[in-house]
Amino acid sequence: MQDNQRPSKILALIALLVAVVLPFLLVNTFHHKNRTTSTDKPLLLPKPTLIKAHPTNEPRHNEWQIIHTKEGDSLATIFKKNGLSAENLIQIIEKNPHASLLSKLRPGQTLQLLIKDSHLEKLIVPLTATQSLEIYHDKDGYKSTIHSRKMSSHNHYLTATVKGSLYATAKRSNIPYKLIREMTSLFSWDIDFSKDVREGDQFTIIYKAFYIEDKLVGTGDIVAVSYTNRSKKYQAIRHTSANGESNYYTADGKSLKKAFARYPINFSHISSTFSLTRYHPILKKKRPHKGVDLAAPLGTPIKATGSGRIVVIERHSGYGNVIKIKHNRSYITVYAHMLRFQKGLSKGSYVKKGQVIGYVGQTGLATGPHCHYEFHINRQPKNPTLVALPRTAPVPSKELASFQAKSSTLLAQLNLYEDANIIDKHSNKTLFG
Ligand SMILES: [Zn+2]
């Protein structure tokens, strides 16, 4: 009898290893591929960076990470994203009596992860409303238990007035840097935090705080935020759609993110602007210039400004090596005079926003290396420098009613907290909920 049971146990273990570890290896190779394409770094001008955006003294580890699972997430993808090794994952699942529970993560779960010296120290996976699986490390290796204590989250709020830099303000008021990073990132399409921040700007944040029993164990994501920059107010509400994807939206459900980058390259200057009545330097006659010329050294990577499908990729007498991308029914962009195309692209290829499609050259009619870039809406060329860039998809219409109910409550709360801060302004205190 025992001899018969053994092979089936081994088979079960192998099946488990395949289910949990294989995705990790796949993710690993996928990321590795990604890394090789992202080595095509711009050769150029350093981009203005947010000063003090990533203070070096901030502990990134040895603090709880709160992770919201998305569709397609597994323990393997989560380990990879948090810098944990495949070996570490195997250590956790081998000999683990609850390993099968770990292979069944669902989108929308909130996991807690404590990492110490690049190793998992503790992992808490909610199982039911009152039970959680806890994996922790002691001197004999990993242990796994099911706990009946509940992790809970509450909305906290804080409000502050900028004095000095944003980070100095955060430090003075004891605001987690994580929240500042999240706020600057979600408003980055509307506010240039490296230039626009002013003394007296005000911000109010409602965010999730996580507790185990009565102990605060972590800072979660921003739920709603308001930033008043030089008297102009920007607001954002977080919404998680049915597929587990979270994004930030305006009060009426429009996305905060733009669907297009302004330009496809880091350029040194605009050598020729958009004009419908321009004198052509080579043809020596009036000819409209339907785009902008972005001057940059030979070989500078050119990135698709928005996601879409390549409809033209060819060598043209005037445009030189040219790519045309159709983004949807209305939007088309054009990139000309390329030195060469990125390998692997052809007519019909789908490219993502930010993906490298080619390199700056001076093929076709060009006086020096530059990228000629056009932006068309409904077949009309628009000035790429000035055109209003469309936003990414709004809150799905099916979810709009519940989003609006939630957002009106959150906005009312933000306003109340802000008013309280104005009363309290002179004492320069930050209020915590
Ligand atoms: Zn041009």
State whether residue 118 is helix, strand or coil. Answer: coil
Residues of the chain with CATH 2.70.70.10: 269-382
Position 40 scores a pLDDT of 31
**Alpha carbons 213 and 134: distance in angstroms, whole number:** 14
Q: Ligand 1 centroid to 373 CA: how many Å? A: 7
Among the listed residues 145, 75, 146, 148, the one whose alpha carbon sits nearest the alpha carbon of residue 113: 75
Q: Any idea what the Cα angle at residue 218 is, between residues 204 and 189, rounded to 5°?
A: 40
Helix axis angle, 86-93 to 2-37, nearest 10°: 160
Helix residue spans in 272-322 (DSSP H): none
Q: Ligand 1 centroid to 165 CA: how many Å? A: 40
Residue 23 parent element (H or E): helix 2-37
**Alpha carbons 426 and 433: distance in angstroms, whole number:** 20
Q: Are 153 and 208 in contact (CB under 8 A)?
A: yes
Burial category of 230 from C-beta neighbours within 10 Å (exposed 0-12, middle 13-18, buried 19 and up): exposed
Beta strand 215-229 pairing with 202-212? antiparallel
One-letter identity of residue 357: I
Reply yes or no on domain 2-29+59-149 having CATH 3.30.420.40.
no
Please give the C-alpha separations between residue 428 and each of 98, 106, 175, 226, 423, in angstroms, as whole numbers: 50, 43, 13, 18, 10
One-letter identity of residue 100: S
Q: Which residue has the tokens 């052809």?
A: 346
Residues of the chain with CATH 3.10.450.350: 2-29+59-149, 153-257+395-427
Q: Ligand 1 centroid to 307 CA: how many Å? A: 22
CATH number of 269-382: 2.70.70.10
Q: Ligand 1 centroid to 329 CA: how many Å? A: 24
User: Mind spelling out the 3-state secondary structure of 151-173?
Assistant: EEEEEEEEEEECCCCHHHHHHHC
CA 197 to chain centre: 22
> What does DSSP assign to residue 402?
H
Position 11 scores a pLDDT of 57
Q: Ligand 1 centroid to 275 CA: how many Å? A: 10
Options 3.10.450.350, 3.30.2320.20, 2.40.50.140, 3.30.70.890; CATH of 153-257+395-427 = 3.10.450.350
**Alpha carbons 205 and 226: distance in angstroms, whole number:** 7
State whether residue 264 is helix, strand or coil. Answer: coil
Q: Ligand 1 centroid to 41 CA: how many Å? A: 24
Q: Ligand 1 centroid to 372 CA: how many Å? A: 4
**Alpha carbons 407 and 411: distance in angstroms, whole number:** 6
Among the listed residues 186, 209, 251, 238, the one whose alpha carbon sits nearest the alpha carbon of residue 404: 251
Position 68 scores a pLDDT of 87
Q: Ligand 1 centroid to 327 CA: how many Å? A: 21
One-letter identity of residue 174: N
The 10 Å Cβ neighbour count of residue 346 is 8
Q: Ligand 1 centroid to 335 CA: how many Å? A: 9
Q: Are 334 and 382 in contact (CB under 8 A)?
A: no
Instruction: Extract the residue ranges of the chain whose pLDDT is less than 70.
Output: 1-62, 129-130, 149, 279, 283, 421-433
Q: Ligand 1 centroid to 40 CA: how many Å? A: 24
Residues 6+ apart with CB under 8 A from 4: none
Q: Ligand 1 centroid to 270 CA: how many Å? A: 10
Q: Ligand 1 centroid to 47 CA: how many Å? A: 23
Q: Ligand 1 centroid to 177 CA: how many Å? A: 43
Q: Ligand 1 centroid to 384 CA: how many Å? A: 12
Q: Any idea what the Cα angle at residue 92 is, between residues 86 and 96, rounded to 5°?
A: 140
**Alpha carbons 163 and 172: distance in angstroms, whole number:** 9
